[in-house]
Chain A
Amino acid sequence: MRQVCTFVGVDPDFVERIDLARSNKSTHFRLAGVQRLALSMNKAGERFWRAHPKLKRSMRDLYYRINGRPFEPADDPETIEALHTFYEPYNARLADSSADRVSRPARMAYAPAQGGPGMIAQLDGDYIRTRPSKAISRIVTHLLLQGRPLTTSMRWMNPLLMAQYGLVKRPADAA
């Protein structure tokens, strides 16, 4: 994360105060039945686990110790060669089009930060506790800058949003 901050040109020290525990990492397991049971427990108790992240983390660490197996990436040379060959032109095109502005591929652990049911503007308790002032900015952004899909009940906001954008853009259009 510090490397990412340095690359984009922001002070990396702020990430020290954020809990960036790894979650939902790729792993193998020993017993498939136990894995299925654990997944169904996780799914059934999603709301509970979201409310008790520390308990979830402890339970998950314990589970990995019992049924986890280190993740082994494919090491079959033939497969790797085939994948390299297949993706080479696409990667070359991406590298060419983005020149020196693309960071080296960054692998991020998947933290429990997804917008869940009832979560507004991707805000959860941890975010609000860590950065209350930024939470306000997130809500303002969510209300005044982000639209709603055509199929949702809040889609009535879209014409207002577009009218607001129209006013902001107007000098550009008139020029």
Chain B
Amino acid sequence: MPRKVIAAIFVLGTGRSGTTVLGKVLGMHRDLLFLNEPKALWHSACAVDDVMGNYQLGQACYTLDDEAADEKTVRAIHRLYSYALLLTNSGRIVDKYPEMIFRVPFIRTIFPDAKLLFLVRNGYDALRSITTWSEKAGRETTQGLEDWWGLDRRKWNLLVRDVVAKAGAG
């Protein structure tokens, strides 16, 4: 029996701002299911979602607007969320995916009743944390350097192309 997706909760903000810990704490509630950056799930529903290059190295978009939420995408993501709820016997989803901060119209079209939580952290601390993360967890792979900025700085390049360039133009 499919479960209706009601008032999904999105944890948004710059990465390294405490989004994981907030998602984890909320996920301790008996009715809530915490999905930690369910990029595979979103990529399956929307092919251009994968800015990290986790599943494909083709085209990706950092910003997604309401037009990207076509009927097929909306149905697919509702089905996948519903499946996740059924699988874990949960009532609501907590989706922590910081990049969605650039896709608010997209989320609103898919889930009109969604609740959005936006975290703010001191910018210097967030940047330092990103640098430290990359120093500690970054690694050379056969396909190039992979760190917080993605494989071969894919996430950074897309951020500059989609967000910085558009902000500059606007």
- B162, chain A: closest CB distance, angstroms: 14
Considering the chains assembled together, what is the distance between the CA atoms of A110 and B158 in angstroms? 28
Question: Which of A29-37, A61-69, A145-153 interfaces with chain B?
Answer: A145-153
* Interface residues as binary, A161-173 with B (CB distance below 8 Å gives 1, 0 otherwise): 1100110110111
Q: With a CB–CB cut-off of 8 A, which chain A residues contact B36?
A: 121-122, 141-142, 146
A-B contacts counted at CB < 8 A amount to 175
B7 touches A172 (CB 8 A): no
Q: Does B52 touch A at the CB level, under 8 Å?
A: yes
- Distance in angstroms between the alpha carbons of A18 and B30 in the assembled complex: 13
Give complex CA distance A7, B119 in Å. 14
- Number of B residues with CB within 8 Å of any CB on chain A: 68
**A79 contacts partner chain B, Cβ-Cβ < 8 Å:** no
Chain B 29-57 interface 0/1 with A at a Cβ cutoff of 8 Å (1 = within): 11111111111110111000000111111
Which of A's residues lie within 8 Å of B, judged by CB?
1, 4-5, 7-11, 14-15, 18, 20, 26, 89-90, 94, 97-98, 101-103, 105-111, 113-115, 121-122, 127, 130-131, 134, 137-138, 140-142, 144-151, 158, 161-162, 165-166, 168-169, 171-173, 175
Q: What are 13 residue pairs bridging A and B, where the CB atoms are less than 8 Å apart in the complex?
A: A26-B122, A102-B118, A105-B118, A113-B24, A141-B35, A145-B40, A146-B37, A146-B39, A147-B39, A147-B54, A148-B54, A149-B146, A169-B80
B binding-site residues for A, Cβ under 8 Å: 7, 9, 17-18, 20-22, 24-41, 43-45, 52-57, 72, 75-76, 78-80, 83-84, 87-90, 92, 101, 104-105, 108, 114-122, 125, 141-143, 146, 151, 167, 170
